[in-house]
Amino acid sequence: MLELNAVQNNTALDQDSGSQTDEVKELMNKQQLTGAQIVMQVLQQQGVDSIFGYPGGAIMPIYDALYDSDIKHYLCRHEQGVAFAAVGYARAGRKTAVCMATSGPGATNLITGLADAYADSIPLVAITGQVPTTAMGTDSFQEVDIISLAMAATKHCFQVTCVDDLQSVLEQAFAIAGSGRQGPVLVDIPKDIQLASTLLTAKTELAITPIPQFSQATMAIAKTLISEASKPVLYVGGGVGMAGAVEELRAFAQTTGMPSVSTLKGLGAVDPECDCFLGMLGMHGLKAANLAVQECDLLVAVGARFDDRVTGKLAEFAPHAKVIHLDIDVAEINKRRCADAALIGDLKTMLPELMTDLKIVAWRKHCTSMKLDYAYDYNYPGEDIYAPAVLKALSDVTPKTAILTTDVGQHQMWATQHMVFSRPENFLSSGAIGTMGFGLPAAIGAQISRPDALVITVTGDGSIMMNIQELATLKRYQIPVKIVLIDNSRLGMVRQWQELFFSERYSEIDLSDNPDFVALAAAFEIKSQRITKKSEVEAALTEMMSHQGPYLLQISIDEYHNVWPLVPPDTANHEMIEASS
């Protein structure tokens, strides 16, 4: 195809002196672009104004084209930071994000972020440089078979081996990433393809796979199940936010009056002020949420997938319930729990159709009183700082429009239990694969996506060290992210499990030799403060919130604090442990 182009051009030149056909004239008027310039053009056509990346040998032509482009590039300090910043950008802005890396180690460093995006269904387009096609398959310098590596961590991957395909491949990548059940797509572009010339053509019309249409017969069955239920529960997953169906879900919850529970990724979908919203269910779910699900006679699962962290022992999960399962992905149906009625399609259209009036006054009363009876007790004796109380206090002073990201561990679970989320795009946490190191770069991406929002990340002293280099990104772009570091000098969640399930044999969880975080922040010119006493919390939160730029608040807590309740592995959700024995 490359040669073909050259031939066409020669033809055009040959005919220059003589009579030109209109076609040839038109061809001449069109500008020849390099593959690298095509990348920039397609990004702009797709409405991309910010990208995250890290350069290197095999992607240099693209970085050269970027030099002339209006697209704003954010240089993170590790490709994992690049990928998570893109995830944060996509999730906070509900749009497809773009990240770039060079071949070999650059590309492999993206993989964890891609796997995270794939598992949480986040739309990304990852562009990687590759060694020239002539060198491919010869173990050349910085050559890694990224297609094979990325295959299990992406919705799809492309390797472009002809410059004439580049534009349409990139357009397809955006279409695939952003449609149906969303996810990351990788486009691997060899260096010679980036340098080769071709013509930019009109945007190709892509045959988008249509959204599946639910069956009316199943809808009727589902409606009957709802009208016959006396103890229904709405089980809300991340799919609601992904489908942009928050309003429809809230209307459904209000009209039916069904008590609701949420997965980690579903938080923010249900109106948190709704008195029948019982909070997160599952391993560290709230007691009322888990008990309601165990008691219910109908579970309406909306954009949720019966993950093992949600269900506990599957055979004993919601044992009396019939199930209505609504999802865009038919592969989720009957995967872990069989559905009595499965509705495949767009939640935005299905939820309004399913809406039915219900008379479940006694059940609602029961659920709201469980919520009150089992409400968390924030009183904690002594001078020490109590993480649940701090996070509640943080939540109380955080505006509804703020974005919260977390890392992974106890601090993450405390955040889900004690903070209030008003929209799914305001709570970004690595759900499906629980990736430590997510919080800081995701917060950076979220802030770039929504510059006017307040962005806070709640992290742990283990997690923050996994992408600590991104403090340099905060500094460089003066991104005003507030870092709340819950510091227990331990890999707290692992420590808790060793305490409970491994006879207190504390293996490799001690982080008490961590660096001085205040000094570390100072090295990046980030304002910070460490607090150790309850009495310091209020003033410290006020100072952090009123500071204009990035800020790190290190909150030292006792290493032995645990997350309660906890449903032990392979145990039914009503058999939770509520305190250390």
Partner 1 sequence: MNHSTLIIKANNQPTVMERLMQVTRYRGFSINKLNMQKLSDKDLEIIMSVDSRNPIENLSRQLLKLVDVVDISISNS
Ligand X SMILES: Cc1ncc(C[n+]2csc(CCOP(=O)(O)OP(=O)(O)O)c2C)c(N)n1
Residues labelled catalytic: 79, 141-142, 191, 493
Residue 153 binding partner 1, by CB under 8 A: no
- Cis upstream peptide for 55 (omega within 30°): no
Q: For the chain, report the end-to-end CA distance as a whole number of angstroms.
A: 72
Quote the distance between the C-alpha of residue 78 and its chain's center.
Answer: 18
Q: Which stretch binds ligand X (CB under 6 A): 67-75, 287-295, 345-353, 460-468?
A: 460-468
Q: Which of 426, 474, 468 is nearest to 450 (CA)?
A: 426
Tokens 């999802």 found at: 327
Of 114, 486, 537, 566, the one binding ligand X by CB under 6 A: 486
Residue 418 binding ligand X, by CB under 6 A: no
Residue 284 binding ligand X, by CB under 6 A: no
Answer whether 184's CB lies under 8 Å from 190's CB.
no
Among partner 1, ligand X, none, what binds residue 211 when CB lies within 5 to 8 Å by partner kind? none
Residue 334 binding partner 1, by CB under 8 A: yes
Residue 415 binding ligand X, by CB under 6 A: no
CB closer to ligand X, 311 vs 463: 463
Q: Which stretch binds partner 1 (CB under 8 A): 40-48, 146-154, 317-325, 500-508?
A: 146-154
Q: Which stretch binds partner 1 (CB under 8 A): 34-42, 245-253, 332-340, 568-576?
A: 332-340
CB closer to partner 1, 10 vs 209: 209
Q: DSSP secondary-structure letter at 206?
A: P
Q: DSSP secondary-structure letter at 385?
A: -
Among ligand X, partner 1, none, what binds residue 462 when CB lies within 5 to 8 Å by partner kind? ligand X
Residue 81 binding ligand X, by CB under 6 A: no
Q: Is 452 exposed, middle or buried, given 0-12, 13-18 or 19+ CB atoms closer than 10 A? A: exposed
CB closer to ligand X, 272 vs 434: 434
Among ligand X, partner 1, none, what binds residue 523 when CB lies within 5 to 8 Å by partner kind? none
Q: Which stretch binds ligand X (CB under 6 A): 15-23, 26-34, 458-466, 565-573?
A: 458-466
Q: What is the smallest separation between the CB atom of 178 and partner 1, expressed in angstroms?
A: 13
Residue 80 binding ligand X, by CB under 6 A: no
Residue 62 binding ligand X, by CB under 6 A: no
- At position 412, the amino acid (one-letter code) is Q
Two structure tokens written together for 571? 């145990």
Q: What is the smallest separation between the CB atom of 295 and partner 1, expressed in angstroms?
A: 29
Phi, psi for 125 (deg, rounded to 5): -120, 120
Helix (H) or strand (E) holding 309: helix 308-311
Answer whether 490's CB lies under 8 Å from 559's CB.
yes
Residue 462 binding ligand X, by CB under 6 A: yes
Q: What is the smallest separation between the CB atom of 156 and partner 1, expressed in angstroms?
A: 4
Which three-class secondary structure state does DSSP give residue 546? helix
Among ligand X, partner 1, none, what binds residue 492 when CB lies within 5 to 8 Å by partner kind? ligand X
Q: What is the smallest separation between the CB atom of 410 and ligand X, expressed in angstroms?
A: 4
Distance separating alpha carbons of residues 372 and 475, to the nearest angstrom: 44
Residue 379 binding partner 1, by CB under 8 A: no
CB closer to partner 1, 155 vs 450: 155
Residue 465 binding partner 1, by CB under 8 A: no
Distance separating alpha carbons of residues 234 and 304, to the nearest angstrom: 11
- Binding mask 368-407 vs ligand X (x if CB under 6 A, - otherwise)? ---------------------------------------x
- At position 50, the amino acid (one-letter code) is S
Distance separating alpha carbons of residues 541 and 507, to the nearest angstrom: 34
Q: Which of positions 488-507 make contact with ligand X (CB under 6 A)?
A: 488, 490-494
Residue 213 binding partner 1, by CB under 8 A: no
Two structure tokens written together for 435? 């990736």
Answer whether 457's CB lies under 8 Å from 468's CB.
no
Residue 307 binding ligand X, by CB under 6 A: no
CB closer to ligand X, 441 vs 462: 462
Dihedral over alpha carbons 69, 70, 74, 80 (to 10 degrees): -60
- Greatest alpha-carbon pair distance for the chain in Å reads 94
Q: What is the smallest separation between the CB atom of 57 and partner 1, expressed in angstroms?
A: 24
Q: How many Cα atoms are found within 13 Å in the side-chain-facing hemisphere of 6?
A: 5
Q: What is the smallest separation between the CB atom of 409 and ligand X, expressed in angstroms?
A: 2
Q: List alpha helices for 325-399, DSSP H.
A: 347-354, 361-373, 387-397
Cβ within 8 Å of residue 525, ≥6 positions away = 475
Answer whether 12's CB lies under 8 Å from 24's CB.
yes
Q: What is the smallest separation between the CB atom of 490 and ligand X, expressed in angstroms?
A: 6
Cα 410 to Cα 452, 477, 491, distances in angstroms: 29, 30, 9
Q: What is the smallest separation between the CB atom of 118 and partner 1, expressed in angstroms?
A: 12
Beta strands in 102-149 (DSSP E): 124-130
Residue 335 binding partner 1, by CB under 8 A: yes
For residue 327, list its beta bridge partners. 344
Of 57, 132, 434, 480, the one binding ligand X by CB under 6 A: 434
Residue 329 binding partner 1, by CB under 8 A: yes
Among partner 1, ligand X, none, what binds residue 156 when CB lies within 5 to 8 Å by partner kind? partner 1
Which three-class secondary structure state does DSSP give residue 87? helix
Residue 460 binding ligand X, by CB under 6 A: yes
Binding site for ligand X (CB under 6 A): 407-411, 434-437, 460-463, 486, 488, 490-494
**Interacting residue ranges for partner 1, rule: CB under 8 A:** 147-148, 151-152, 155-157, 159, 176, 181, 329-331, 333-335
